[in-house]
Amino acid sequence: MNIVASSYKPNHLNLINNFTFLAVVIFVFALWFFFFPFYSKLTYYVVGHFHYVLSMGAVFGLFSGFYYWAPKIVGKTPSELLGNIHFWTLFVGVNLTFFPQHFLGLAGMPRRVPDYPDAFSGWNAVSSFGSLISVIATILFGYIIYDLFANQTTCSNNPWYVPSFYTQIKLLISDTYEETGTSLEWALGSPIPFHGFTMLPVQS
């Protein structure tokens, strides 16, 4: 039996790829700090570096996990448009906040000071403006959670299923299990009901 499926590929995967790729790249990029001279640890350079790893590494990874697992946990898929706006707003915000702090550190601004000379006011103003953008992104994420429960429709058992062109049903089935989620939760409904299995599933 021949079967031809559409080549539709949901763009939600692009959102997850954005957050995951960015988290990995920023984490690897930040490793070079350990080879930087010791004096940088006494300046704002280490503040910018630490928050780069924290905000654009760990936090972006958490957002990636949210967008991936929310359909399975809640049973609804977050808005793709709002998710992309959230990503780019937060991306611009945290970069404007923490990247200038590297310049402040290289210019000699020390850590743990209540005030700073006027010579550092320019980059500090840019950093403050970036933090306001990050706050806007955080408020938007709160609205995304509200929109998820209030306006989005229910999703399938495996919302990340990606069909393609196939000529045999056997290839469709085998490729589906290889290219999408293969763990047991994707075989159950979204959200997963209580007592989803009447007995322990047999592992192959």
Q: Tens of pLDDT along 85-103?
A: 999 999 999 999 999 998 8
Q: What average pLDDT does range 98-109 have in this prediction? A: 88
22-43 pLDDT, tens digit each? 777 777 666 655 555 555 668 8
Longest dimension (CA), the chain: 76
130-177 pLDDT, tens digit each? 999 999 999 999 999 999 999 988 887 777 776 666 666 666 555 544
Q: What average pLDDT does range 60-69 have in this prediction? A: 90
Q: What average pLDDT does range 192-204 have in this prediction? A: 75
Cβ proximity of 102 and 45 under 8 Å: yes
Using DSSP, state whether 76 is helix, strand or coil. Answer: strand
Cβ burial 16-26 (10 Å sphere, 16+ → b, else e): bebbbebbeeb
Side chain identity, residue 3: I
Percent of the chain at pLDDT above 70?
73
pLDDT band at 178 (very low <50, low <70, confident <90, very high): very low
Write down the H helix ranges in the chain.
12-30, 44-53, 60-74, 80-106, 121-150, 169-179
pTM over 0.85: no
Is the pLDDT confidence value at 179 over 60? Answer: no
| CA dist., res. 133 & res. 65, Å (int) | 22
The CB-side HSE value for 134 (13 A sphere, CA atoms) comes to 18
pLDDT band at 203 (very low <50, low <70, confident <90, very high): low
The per-residue pLDDT of the chain, averaged, comes to 79
